[in-house]
Amino acid sequence: MATGTIRYWAAAKAAAGIAEEPYSAGTLAEALEGVRERHPGELTRVLLRCSFLVNEEPVGKRPHDSVPLTEGGTVEVLPPFAGG
């Protein structure tokens, strides 16, 4: 199991009520399950629309249980952004 940081952006940050928090998980799926347990409600709904970066690499359409997390790593939670 690895420990690192989850960073929330835009609507995810507003729904979580914090900018970042630690994770302790082996995969992205495990980390997100912990997020859902700690922040039931709006953040759980926001996560359905988010994309994720793990250590600056896009997760894309890979199953979250196949994305390993590393010690000292970072998960970025990115909701859709307007404009562009």
pLDDT, tens digit (0-9, with 9 covering 90-100), for 20-29: 999 999 999 9
pTM of the predicted structure, to 2 decimals: 0.93
**Dist CA 3 CA 75 (whole Å):** 11
What pLDDT digit, counting tens, does each position of 36-61 carry? 999 999 999 999 999 999 999 999 99
pLDDT of residue 83: 56
**Dist CA 64 CA 12 (whole Å):** 18
pLDDT of residue 12: 96
CATH code: domain 2-78 is: 3.10.20.30
Question: Is residue 80's pLDDT more than 80?
Answer: yes
